Structure 1
Amino acid sequence: MTSLRRPILLCVVLLGLSTPGAASAMERVVFERDGRQQTVVGRVVVEAQDGGLLLLARDGVLWTIPPEEKVSLATDDEPFAPLSADELAKNLLAELPPGFEVHQTRNYLILHNSSRAYAVWCGSLFERLYQAFSNDWKNRGFELTEPEFPLVAVIFGDRESYLRFARAGELGDAAESILGYYSLRTNRMTMCDLTGISSLARGRRIRSATQIDQILSAPDALMTVATIVHEATHQIAYNRGMHVRLSDCPLWLAEGLAIRFETPDLSSAKGWRGIGQVNPSRLERFNEYLARRPADSLATLIAKDDRFRNPATALNAYAEAWALTYFLIRNR
């Protein structure tokens, strides 16, 4: 183990210990919700004293089932097994609006109604990030786990259809201010085609990765790309044993580590040179915050997640989380 010590080391390692084993039995839960009966097959992660369940389904979705909704719980003889990539793709296509297609890479299952060129570009970006994340933490002595499920990304070809989907789902009215997100419940990323919201696209038909690089390397587009990379980093961290979904992982840690990777090097087809370097936009924000930073700012950042959830304080919290993790990784 190298330079990482408390508190990052202990928090990450302890969270990683709760990764479920592979020998769990398949369980079938019947429950009633919104006036109709549903059945989910998967692995029970937690069974509360009152009978409530946290169930991991074969598609990677986490279901919280309170005792008043549970109808029955039965255990099958066969062990738990995630859906195959083909099975998962088929299920996702049935859930999404018509017109979606599948692009598969080594670690990702990308469902898209964007151009194929953009889906391929995203797949390459995500795979580079995946490899960079893996190399960075392995070089620091961490043993990462292999993802139990394919990493799913859903890409809408335009912002309007993305907003309709996100509003009707987990984001509600907050969707308007969010370009893309990773869901702890579904384990999926959802986003829209960033070239469609960049002023540099100017109605051009996107046909190649070179065009996409030109559009998204522009100064006005880099922060939008960083947002998507940030969410993709969350997905990797939660699927490689750094964090555990729906666990009590402090946001300063989860967000600080994601910011560590969020600036890609679009000039390289292979590398990711920005890992661990100073993040200019976060540093600028933190320096602005320092002039009025309360004496208990660090304590409130670590003790509670409230500042991240409040729009009035969130940007400062993200900047301070980056500064804290940057300091700890480099100096402790």
Structure 2
Amino acid sequence: MISSIDCPHGKSSIITGSVLALLLAAGGNPQRSVAVGPTVIEFYVDDEPRRGLPIMDFASELVVLDRDGQIHALRGAAKENVRDLKLPYEPANPIETRDRLQSEFGRDFEIVATQHFLVVQPRGRGDRWPDLFERSHRSFVNYMSRRGVKIRRGRFPMVAVVMPDASAMYAEMERAGIQATSVAGVYERESNRVITHDGGHLEFIAATVRHEAAHQSAYNYNVHSRVVITPRWVTEGIGQLFEPEAMVMNQAGLTLRDRVNRDSLRKLKENFDGGQSDQFSQAVRDLIGTDEMFNNAQTTADAYAVAWAMMFYLAEREPKNFARLLTGTNGRGTYQPYDRFARLNDFERWVGSDVDTFAKKVAWFLKSL
């Protein structure tokens, strides 16, 4: 699941999309990226003073990048009650972020630091969750790099929150303003956190964590941008790629069959004759053009399965086009609207074939599996 900030009409850009993407991915100092740029402002979240970089100034809200990597949408009095500090932007260091997390979650939780993560978990849970997040991230970077996708490491520590059970997870999601039901975990784009729990069927939860951790890695390592509208078949297709357990084993996904998402493939066999039906080609076209299949509860499961097939085919059989697609979607303007015509036109330009031909190639690939 990926949440989004509503983008009202009449927006006014403060930083260009390409520069902002660099800041979000690299967490760098704007003085090294921009000759002249905005300085840090002081603002308030739940009456707590924070410091951050203004990203976009809408008529009804100001979007700010916090020093810990969170994105805040300030509205009403919060939008007006800001102060320009005339200081350069510097991301919070891991110690600052760790202290803030400890204060936020309290003594019943511990903060476990790994090379790339700060994992918030109930005390005494050991290394199981930190190891899973680390292995998931390393698998993501390795898989993408092998396929020519440009990776740029971020300087924001990635935060993962593991609650003791499902009810505690839903309470934490409600506190964060996330609306979701019947999930084992989420990646929340604005807070830049994965939230999951430690009280259910471990195999199912682990698959969800691998999916959500792939989102987090993608948004932190410049595969996606958190301030660019990216088609959901692209983002969710990547999440689906990393659900199989073999993807995070020591010899991750050595064979093509190891890398297959069995649940997605089964859904495709049940509802699309393994990709051979006419409905499959139409589903591919619908996903490229809009996100409606994801938004309709009756077609959501199909949307995830078809998105997996499309991204898996590109990654395994057309890696250059896979990388070109990700570079193209990531490089669009900040919060720039993306209508059906533009999405279809961009797809055919980046992938180098029309939609119907592409759907047939994906169907042939699925048949070979």
Q: TM-score range by the shorter chain?
A: 0.7 to 0.9
Contact 1:26–1:81 under 8 Å retained in 2: no
**Counterpart in the other structure of 2:50:** 40
Structure 2 residue 57 is matched with structure 1 residue 76: no
**Counterpart in the other structure of 1:179:** 184
Q: How is 1:1-332 mapped onto 2 (pairs within 5 angstroms)?
A: 18-21=20-23, 22-24=28-30, 26-30=39-43, 39-48=49-58, 50=59, 52-66=61-75, 69-113=78-122, 115-117=124-126, 120-172=127-179, 174-175=180-181, 177-193=182-198, 196-198=199-201, 216=202, 221=203, 223-265=204-246, 268=249, 270-273=250-253, 277-291=259-273, 293=279, 296-332=282-318
Structure 2 SS opposite 1:286? helix
Structure 2 SS opposite 1:234? helix
Unaligned runs of 5+ in 1: 1-14, 199-215
Contact 2:185–2:205 under 8 Å retained in 1: no
| Residue 110 of structure 1, CA deviation | 0.7
Structure 2 SS opposite 1:78? coil
| Residue 264 of structure 1, CA deviation | 2.0
Contact 1:152–1:187 under 8 Å retained in 2: yes
Q: What amino acid does structure 2 have at the position aligned with 1:185?
A: E
Q: What amino acid does structure 1 have at the position aligned with 2:97?
A: L
Aligned partners of 1:89, 1:166: CA distance in 2, in Å?
A: 20
Q: 1:126 to 1:43 in 2, by over 3 A?
A: same
Contact 1:30–1:37 under 8 Å retained in 2: no
Q: 1:136 to 1:16 in 2, by over 3 A?
A: farther
Aligned partners of 2:280, 2:160: CA distance in 1, in Å?
A: 39
The alignment of Structure 1 onto Structure 2 pairs a total of residues equal to 285
Structure 1 SS opposite 2:246? coil
Q: What amino acid does structure 2 have at the position aligned with 1:297?
A: A
Aligned partners of 2:19, 2:312: CA distance in 1, in Å?
A: 24
Aligned partners of 2:293, 2:77: CA distance in 1, in Å?
A: 34
Structure 2 SS opposite 1:125? helix
Aligned partners of 1:180, 1:16: CA distance in 2, in Å?
A: 30
| RMSD (Å), alpha carbons | 2.7
Aligned partners of 2:200, 2:124: CA distance in 1, in Å?
A: 14
Aligned partners of 2:129, 2:111: CA distance in 1, in Å?
A: 13
| Residue 39 of structure 1, CA deviation | 4.0
Question: Could you report, residue by residue, the CA deviation over 1:32-68 in whole angstroms, capped at 9, with x for unpaired residues?
Answer: x8xx8664311112234x3742110012110112466
Question: Could you report, residue by residue, the CA deviation over 1:91-140 in whole angstroms, capped at 9, with x for unpaired residues?
Answer: 112222541111111111011115332xx112112212222211222222
Identical aligned residues as a percent = 26
Aligned partners of 1:106, 1:114: CA distance in 2, in Å?
A: 20
Q: What amino acid does structure 2 have at the position aligned with 1:92?
A: L
| Residue 262 of structure 1, CA deviation | 1.5
Structure 2 SS opposite 1:148? coil
| Residue 26 of structure 1, CA deviation | 4.3
